[in-house]
Amino acid sequence: MNGRDGAAPPASRFAASRASGVRRSNEPLVRLFHVTKSYGGGNVALRDVSLEVRKGELVFLTGPSGAGKTTLMKLLFAAEKPTEGQILVLGRNVGRLSERRVPALRRRVGVVFQDFKLIPTRTVEQNVALALEVVGRPPREVRSKVFAMLRRVGLQHRRHDLPPALSGGEQQRVALARPLLNDPAILVADEPTGNLDPELTIEIMDLIAAAAARGTTVMVATHDQNLIRRYARRTVRLEAGRLVEDRPAGGGR
Ligand code: ADP
């Protein structure tokens, strides 16, 4: 069974939710409904995937390379569109989102990648500030929020350094500070610890888990079975584009 409750919602509920823009408080923040994604040339990345994720949940997305994890995450922030099926993120049908509405979605859905994606010629502070500057926040607010966020991720002492001078773990903390600054409803992290050694992996994962504890809904794609065991959160497994397992938090090995 793919969906958490197994019940397929009638299509009209999607329409109603989209039309009103109002979500019931217990409604999942992320809902995939029979989603298939083909890239063409016979490359099917996701096959009939249904999934619901609720507010404040931390979900590990696992499975071998090529299973469709990145594709699933890209669908959540409208970097790709589903070929079939529907995806609701924060009550919006993201498969049908107009280009004009994508930036508003991305302010609420933060993203972290394995390779950090920092700007090497800007300081730590400037890299983090960018998240607020691009949405037009006043400089005073940017300064105070950036300072508070750098403290939260333990990097205030490195604020004037350039990313290449930082360790991998520090770079990933900067990369994480950026979306967290917008207090996203959803945080999507694609192999965020893939380039880090085990100690730094825990450091970053603790920051991600702390964001979930503050109410952010988090999805973390990872191959790292040690990480999955250690945190014992809900774990969704993909294989060849199919959702083959949905194990609840604390659900054993
Ligand atoms: P994972 O993140 O689990 O490694 P991906 O979502 O990256 O899996 O890839 C799933 C499948 O989709 C793979 O077969 C991959 O080659 C294919 N794929 C991913 N992105 C593209 C793309 N932009 N164009 C064509 N095929 C793609």
- Predicted local confidence at residue 252, as pLDDT: 53
């069974």: which residue's tokens? Answer: 1
> By CB neighbour count within 10 A (0-12 exposed, 13-18 middle, 19+ buried), where does 231 fall?
buried
Residue 10 has pLDDT above 90, yes or no: no
Strand partners, 38: 44
The atom number, within ligand 1, closest to the CA of 64 reads 3
Mutation choice for ligand 1 from 43, 80, 115, 220, CB with most ligand atoms inside 8 A: 43
d(CA 211, CA 216): 6
Instruction: Look at ligand 1, atom 16, and give the residue with the nearest C-alpha.
Output: 66
Q: What percent of the chain has pLDDT over 90?
A: 77
Pocket of ligand 1, beta carbon within 6 A? 39, 43, 45, 63, 65-71
- Predicted local confidence at residue 25, as pLDDT: 57
Burial track 172-190 (b if 16+ CB lie within 10 A, e otherwise): bbbbbbbbbbbebbbbbbb
Higher-pLDDT residue of 235 and 115 is 235
pLDDT tens digits along 30-67: 999 999 999 988 899 999 999 999 999 999 999 999 99
Cα-Cα-Cα-Cα torsion 218, 118, 106, 83, nearest 10 degrees, comes to: -80
Cα atoms in the Cβ-side hemisphere of radius 13 Å centred on 197: 3
Identity at 50, one-letter amino acid code: S
pLDDT tens digits along 160-183: 999 999 999 999 999 999 999 989
Token duo for residue 27: 């409604």
Most confident of the ranges 2-16, 21-35, 64-78: 64-78
Q: How confident is the model at residue 16 (pLDDT cuts 50, 70, 90)?
A: very low
Residue 1 has pLDDT above 50, yes or no: no
Structural domains of the chain, ranges and CATH numbers in brackets: 55-80+99-247 (3.40.50.300)
Higher-pLDDT residue of 94 and 16 is 94
Mean pLDDT of 236-241: 98
